[in-house]
Structure 1
Amino acid sequence: MIATYGCYAVAGWLLLIGSLGIARSRNLVHAVVSLSVAQSGTYVLLLGIGYQRGASPPILPAGPVVDPMVQAMTLTDIVVSATVTALLLAITIQVARRHGTIDPDELRALRG
């Protein structure tokens, strides 16, 4: 029971640290990495939800089994996170090429 609450605490801590990193970022690459840290909190949360003490894999059911849907959702979350991170880094490279900086405060051409 303590292990489950520990997973919730770690997931919340990762989300908080990532969100603070995004809010305080003065560099687009740092913001993307902070977003990735915040997204990793969802992996820990999903795995903490799906954890069952003494359960076996669903391939060889012998007694209680772990729900494979939570594991599939975690893998999907990892793939989506990697895709979002790659897309944001590609946009950061294009911004650096066009504007010569990755500091969000110096990107005056993007203001409306």
Structure 2
Amino acid sequence: MRKVLIADDLVNMRWVFERALSKAGYHVETAEDGQVAVDRALAERPDLVLVDLNMPKLDGLSVLRRLKEHYPDLPIIMMTAHVSTVTAVEAMKAGVHDFLMKPFDIEELLLTVFKAV
């Protein structure tokens, strides 16, 4: 069973992601901020990380950079409602696998996750 780590500071977003991905057969872990996401990923490597761009403690770009230092091949999907060209370029240079623009539907989420793993 593929393990997915979801990092989002909004509890309702984590709940929706966890429910959808669990129903699709993934083992899901969640993190409420960027630092917790890094700590959980380093403790037990997930197969995929979904990370919100704007979070407390560590933002999504910082999470992306830290995890890529340890797991260069780990697919990381960045989620955001607002992304500037500069941020998108930074994320691509840091190794982001894909972007999910909020709001998105569950089918789009599942397809993006399926393609990544």
Task: Report which of the two structures shows the higher radius of gyration computed on alpha carbons.
Answer: 1
TM-score in same-fold range (> 0.5): no
State the TM-score bracket (shorter-chain normalisation).
under 0.3
Larger helix proportion of the pair: 1
Structure with the higher fraction of residues in strand conformation: 2
TM-score, with length taken from structure 1 = 0.26
